[in-house]
């Protein structure tokens, strides 16, 4: 029964890698050694680039490694050592070659498929040889054909400790009983339907496909890269996201992108003309009407709408008509002076 459980270990091991959804780097080496801090940090960087966990399998030792955690050595047991020996056989690694100062590195994708293998000379130390092999694996994944790049993942955080714990449980459990079949995967929820939207922003036309729930603020920041409009409260209470739609002030966080239609949208990026600042932008600088600057784009856009409305003339009226824009630094007095200064500088 022990032999039968260990024979199935390789298959279980690949199933674990697939269920974790992460690439896995297997390193067969005689021992780990003592990596320098610089080498250890470089190995972390390469693993983050691959989005992979790392298992270092020695003849009598086992190390697990997650890029953002500390290196941990797992105390070997008889069953675990037997399982490691089976992995040596499965990937055709010669323990005698390891004794001569070599390591073998294998990269498995999220489905457990072998995507890269390299045997390297480790005369100057296992960590240094491992780093060189990881660098070659990373370059191969980036510059190789499309099917060789598919196993790279975008999410950098990995969970190798849970993977190693599951491996140990499978090795121990396989000696006693059959492993039950995995439950059927839960079907993914249907993707929300997207609709075509044409946005005219700062004089340029953009064709987008967005879900009906996407706000104008998210469309500007996430789809068009116009990050001048800030997301402060996302509830229409702070005014940091203020933009002009057809010349009128609106909170972009409360306006759906599909509601805008073909109306022209002006953001803080569209206020200046080349290198020449808008009079409001220049007045805010001259009057020192900002501190942290986070609310400033919304303050300027709201002031631009106020001047166009031509309804607020006294300082008290300006304060009242800009009351929807909050400045947590308290630069209100200078903001009012900047608005009045820009009003005086406007041509009649």
Query: What's the pLDDT band for 94 if we cut at 50, 70, 90?
Result: confident
Residues 117-156: tens digit of each pLDDT: 888 888 778 888 888 888 888 777 655 555 555 555 443 3
Residue 131 has what pLDDT?
85
Q: Which two tokens stand for residue 274?
A: 């080349």
Pairing mode of beta strands 264-266, 195-201? parallel
Whether pLDDT at 91 is above 70 = yes
pTM of the model: 0.48
Whether pLDDT at 260 is above 50 = yes
Residue 161 has what pLDDT?
44
Separation in Å, CA 42 to CA 105, 128, 135, 151 = 16, 10, 9, 21
Query: What's the pLDDT band for 28 if we cut at 50, 70, 90?
Result: confident
Residue 157 has what pLDDT?
39
Whether pLDDT at 328 is above 90 = yes
Please tell me if the domain spanning 2-173 has the same topology as the one spanning 195-345.
no
Helix (H, G, I), strand (E, B) or coil at 57: strand
Helix spans in the chain (H): 2-7, 9-20, 37-50, 78-90, 95-99, 126-143, 146-149, 160-173, 216-218, 257-260, 279-286, 296-309, 315-321, 332-345
Query: What's the pLDDT band for 23 if we cut at 50, 70, 90?
Result: confident
Whether pLDDT at 70 is above 60 = yes
**Domain layout of the chain by residue ranges:** 2-173, 195-345
CATH number, domain 195-345: 3.10.20.30
Indicate the burial class of 227 (C-beta count within 10 angstroms; 0-12, 13-18, 19 or more): middle
CATH number, domain 2-173: 3.40.30
Query: What's the pLDDT band for 284 if we cut at 50, 70, 90?
Result: very high
């Amino acid at each position: 029964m022990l032999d039968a459980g260990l024979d199935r270990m390789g298959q279980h091991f690949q199933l674990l890698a697939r269920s974790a959804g992460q690439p896995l780097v297997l390193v067969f080496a005689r021992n780990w050694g003592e990596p320098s801090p610089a080498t250890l940090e470089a190995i972390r960087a390469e693993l983050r680039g691959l989005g992979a966990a790392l298992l270092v399998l020695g003849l009598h030792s086992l190390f697990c490694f997650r890029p953002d955690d500390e290196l941990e050595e797992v105390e070997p047991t008889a069953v675990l050592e037997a399982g490691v020996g089976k992995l040596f056989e499965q990937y055709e690694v010669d323990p005698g070659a390891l004794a001569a100062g070599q390591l073998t590195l294998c990269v498995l994708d999220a489905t457990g498929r072998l995507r890269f293998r390299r045997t390297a000379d480790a005369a100057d130390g296992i960590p240094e040889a491992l780093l060189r092999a990881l660098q070659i694996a990373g370059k191969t994944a980036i510059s190789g054909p499309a099917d060789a790049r598919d196993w790279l993942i975008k999410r950098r955080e990995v969970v190798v400790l849970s993977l190693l714990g599951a491996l140990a449980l499978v090795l121990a459990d396989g000696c006693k009983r059959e492993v039950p079949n995995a439950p059927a995967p839960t079907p993914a929820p249907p993707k929300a339907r997207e609709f075509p939207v044409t946005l005219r922003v700062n004089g340029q036309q953009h064709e987008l496909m967005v879900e009906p729930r996407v706000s104008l603020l998210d469309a500007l920041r996430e789809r068009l890269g116009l990050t001048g409009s800030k997301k402060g409260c996302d509830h229409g209470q702070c005014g940091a996201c203020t933009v002009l739609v057809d010349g009128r002030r609106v909170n972009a966080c409360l306006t759906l992108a599909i509601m805008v239609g073909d109306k022209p949208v002006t953001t803080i990026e569209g206020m200046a003309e080349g290198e020449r600042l808008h009079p409001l932008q220049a007045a805010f600088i001259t009057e020192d009407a900002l501190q942290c600057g986070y609310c400033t784009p919304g303050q300027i856009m709201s002031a631009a709408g106020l001047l166009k409305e031509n309804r607020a003339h006294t300082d008290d009226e300006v304060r009242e008509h800009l009351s929807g824009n909050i400045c947590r630094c308290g630069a209100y007095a200078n903001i009012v002076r900047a608005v009045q200064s820009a009003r005086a500088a406007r041509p009649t």
